[in-house]
Amino acid sequence: MMVSRIIPVEPFDLVVFGGTGDLARRKILPALYRRFRAGQMPKNARVIGVARAAMDDAAYRAFAAAAIAEAGGGEAEPPAEGADFLARLGYVAVDAEAAAGWEALGARLRPGVVRACYFSVAPGLFATLADRLHAHALAGPGTRIVVEKPFGHDLDSARALNATLARHFGEGQIYRIDHYLGKETVQNLMAVRFANILFEPLWNARFVDHVQITVAESVGVAGRGAYYDRAGAMRDMVQNHLMQLLCLIAMEPPHRFEPDAVRDEKLKVIRALDPLLPGEVVRGQYRAGPGSAGYRADAQNPASDTESFIAMRVGISNWRWKGTPFYLRTGKRLRARASEIAIAFREPPHAIFDQQEGWKENVLSIRLQPNEGMNLRVMIKEPGPGGMRLTDVPLDMSFATALGAGGAVIPDAYERLIMDVIRGNQTLFMRGDEVEAAWAWTDPAIALWQAAGDRPLPYDPGSSGPEDALMLMHRDGRRWREIRE
């Protein structure tokens, strides 16, 4: 029986810059509402939406109500509770690049409560916001800032951004979001590894043949082509989300589950990554399909060489992992939306059964989304007569069925992350040096393919990416797991 404990956080003022933007509408406001309904938001918590448009509190509350209804799939919310939540919301029009509105914003902020400023705006505004908050004396040593991705476009820009933020804020005040770290199943990676004795002794190159990380999406880039075309899958997904997943799988056990202990270990992994060689990377770009436009049309760039898919083999040069490749792939318009991590173990050192044909490697797969769960494939004797014939069976666990009557509701990543900001817990946020190290590894790989004039290979929508990505594993005598929901 699962008992969840909800401990209300301290009273807070959360200022959401970009308060009428897409992220606020789709994620931040619905997440706050769900935490409110769960009883985690104290009575005197306030959320202040900030954007350029003129709007009053009532109009912002209507905007939030619509956002919440939309996120809840149109489900009608109990009106009393909804009104209680909306009463905590306010709005101030501020021109981030000018003087207008800052004083009015200051007048809304209360002393003596946790103050957090969420930069849910175009990255070009991060530095401006930090400067203005400081200039208008709206940020003190206790103020926290939340910075959305992308955190820089490459190492130089990430360094510059870190330096700008550091002018006004200490590292302990800066919450760099990678929303993958807020996903329940991603946190579960740490629980599985570090709260069980079972896996850890096998968790190294001696016993692990290889690791596969797949983050597949079925959607394309239509609607956000302008951003995406400058980024591509490497910058948009690998540098941050896949890198974080890799770190959680590969890192040494931290001595405690504390921000710097965890982040120190992740940083060591990133620094131990081998440089990517050209033959270890396959880039792809989706074609048009029946009823769907191709990447170039979606990105509105007919000559684009940006990748909407990337697969790679990554080596880690440290004692634990030398000799165990990590295969990573991610892409848009693939066969299904499916993200998983699979740890494939080596063969037993010696075969004692005569009939080994049925033998398959043990695989621990951790399903991030959808249908979160874990699966361990083990060998057993095939039931019945006929001698000792082997077959593999899955030990299957769906978290939804295992954890709750009728299925546990898995909270959205943003619920966890925003509450962590208020609690002042940075464990699930990226430290500045971590982001820089990730860029330091990504940049040379991008520079190599740019220098070589490499063009992404076309792939069909609804496929598993270009053929060459399959070859990346085939030539090592291995194969990708199927992408399926």
Residues involved in catalysis: 241
**Taking the complex as a whole, how short is the minimal distance between the CB of residue 337 and ligand BG6, in angstroms?**
7
The residues facing 379 across adjacent strands are 392
Residue owning tokens 């956002």: 67
Contact characters 364-403, ligand BG6, x per CB under 6 A = ----------------------------------------
Centre a 10 Å sphere on the Cβ of residue 163 and count the other Cβ atoms it contains.
11
Comparing CB distances to ligand BG6, the nearer of 217 and 372 is 217
In the structure encoding, which two tokens stand for residue 62, read together? 């209507």
Does residue 236 belong to the site contacting ligand BG6 (CB under 6 A)?
yes
**Taking the complex as a whole, how short is the minimal distance between the CB of residue 367 and ligand BG6, in angstroms?**
13
Q: Give CA separation, 302 vs 225, 286, 305, in Å.
A: 12, 13, 9
The CA distance from 409 to 184, in Å, is 11
What single string gives the DSSP state of each residue in 60-119?
HHHHHHHHHHHHTTTPPPPHHHHHHHHTTEEEEE--TTSSTTHHHHHHH--TTSEEEEEE
The CA distance from 436 to 122, in Å, is 20
Does residue 412 belong to the site contacting ligand BG6 (CB under 6 A)?
no
Comparing CB distances to ligand BG6, the nearer of 13 and 236 is 236
**Taking the complex as a whole, how short is the minimal distance between the CB of residue 215 and ligand BG6, in angstroms?**
7
Residues across the chain: 485
Judge contact between 159 and 437, C-beta under 8 A. no
Does residue 209 belong to the site contacting ligand BG6 (CB under 6 A)?
no
Does residue 217 belong to the site contacting ligand BG6 (CB under 6 A)?
yes
Comparing CB distances to ligand BG6, the nearer of 217 and 434 is 217
Comparing CB distances to ligand BG6, the nearer of 217 and 415 is 217
In the structure encoding, which two tokens stand for residue 238, read together? 């690998």
What single string gives the DSSP state of each residue in 33-51?
HHHHHTT-S-TT-EEEEEE
**Taking the complex as a whole, how short is the minimal distance between the CB of residue 149 and ligand BG6, in angstroms?**
6
3-class secondary structure for 331-393?
ECCECCCEEEEEEEECCCCCCCCCCCCCCCCCEEEEEEECCCEEEEEEEEECCCCCCCCEEEE
Does residue 148 belong to the site contacting ligand BG6 (CB under 6 A)?
no
The β-bridge relationship of strands 326-331 and 208-216 is parallel
Comparing CB distances to ligand BG6, the nearer of 236 and 340 is 236
**Taking the complex as a whole, how short is the minimal distance between the CB of residue 412 and ligand BG6, in angstroms?**
9
Comparing CB distances to ligand BG6, the nearer of 272 and 336 is 336
The CA distance from 341 to 294, in Å, is 28
What single string gives the DSSP state of each residue in 462-475?
TBSS-HHHHHHHHT
**Taking the complex as a whole, how short is the minimal distance between the CB of residue 400 and ligand BG6, in angstroms?**
17
Comparing CB distances to ligand BG6, the nearer of 138 and 177 is 177
The β-bridge relationship of strands 89-93 and 46-51 is parallel
Q: Give CA separation, 148 vs 12, 121, 177, 411, in Å.
A: 20, 8, 5, 19
**Taking the complex as a whole, how short is the minimal distance between the CB of residue 248 and ligand BG6, in angstroms?**
15
Residue count, binding to ligand BG6 (CB under 6 A): 3
Q: For ligand BG6, which residue has the nearest CB?
A: 236
Q: Which amino acid is at 166?
A: A
The SS3 of residue 271 is helix
Comparing CB distances to ligand BG6, the nearer of 209 and 415 is 415
The CA distance from 377 to 355, in Å, is 19
Return phi, psi of residue 444, to 5°. Answer: -65, -30
**Taking the complex as a whole, how short is the minimal distance between the CB of residue 332 and ligand BG6, in angstroms?**
7
Comparing CB distances to ligand BG6, the nearer of 162 and 339 is 339
**Taking the complex as a whole, how short is the minimal distance between the CB of residue 232 and ligand BG6, in angstroms?**
10
* Interaction site with ligand BG6 (CB under 6 A): 149, 217, 236
